[in-house]
Amino acid sequence: MKIRDSGMPDARRWEGFFDAPRILDQLGCTGTHADIVEFGCGYGTFTVAAAARTGGTVFAFDIEPAMVAATRDRAQVAGLANVVVSERDFVATGTGLGDGVVDAALLFNILHAAEPVPLLREAWRVLKPGGSVHVIHWVSERPTPRGPALAIRPRPAQCRAWLVEAGFRECGADIDLPPWHYGISAVR
């Protein structure tokens, strides 16, 4: 099931919206031996940045075959052997990963899904105790050059409530990721 209002622009335009290493740093996603899962890898913008900083494996999922191919190609060009990219409808069927097997989960620009809490519960399930989830989303108080309709963009307070509902604790402070995003991290 594709997440509503989630089409992708061309890769060059998409890349211009993010400084992936800086965002990962600001979220505290800096583990050097961590296994990571990414829900909705798109072009691999964050997949490659995360894989470059960890000795662990990055499990990247997307429902779109073109995005899976783009991420796989990008990781190969970067010489990263620690990326496992899978085409999967993780909204409908989960990741297929075992319980408590990863150290960090990335849910970037997808919590405008019709049912975000099941996604967060799946992240909670696959995280090791003490593992962290990292969320970013488009700001909702003003238009941005991309992103879902303003009416369906979650505000940070809503994301926090969903994180708590999914079982997470220790939500960190809101992280400003200018010019168009905010982030939140929480611990399982």
Span 28-51, pLDDT tens digits = 988 777 999 999 999 999 999 999
List, as one string, the DSSP characters of 11-61. Answer: HHHHHTT--HHHHHHHHT---SS--EEEE--TTSHHHHHHHHT-SS-EEEE
Helix 20-27, helix 45-52: angle, nearest 10:
60
**Over the stretch 49-60, which tens digit does the pLDDT of each residue have?**
999 999 999 999
Q: Tell me if 5 is assigned to some domain.
A: no
Q: Tell me if 81 is assigned to some domain.
A: yes
- For residues 79-109, b (16+ Cβ closer than 10 Å) or e, as one string? ebebbbbbebebbeebbebeeebbbbbbbbb
Give the domain range for residue 111: 11-187
Torsion sign over Cα 63, 67, 71, 77: positive
For 26, other C-beta atoms within 10 Å of its C-beta total 17
> Per the structure, how many domains does the chain have?
1
Q: Tell me if 6 is assigned to some domain.
A: no
* Mean predicted confidence (pLDDT) in 96-102: 98
Q: Is the pTM of this model over 0.75?
A: yes
pLDDT band for position 2 (cuts 50, 70, 90): confident
Q: Tell me if 141 is assigned to some domain.
A: yes
Tell which wins on pLDDT, 134 or 15. Answer: 134
User: Domain of 26: which CATH number?
Assistant: 3.40.50.150
pLDDT number for residue 3 = 80
| pLDDT for 116 beyond 90 | yes
In whole numbers, what is the pLDDT of the chain averaged over residues?
94
pLDDT number for residue 35 = 97
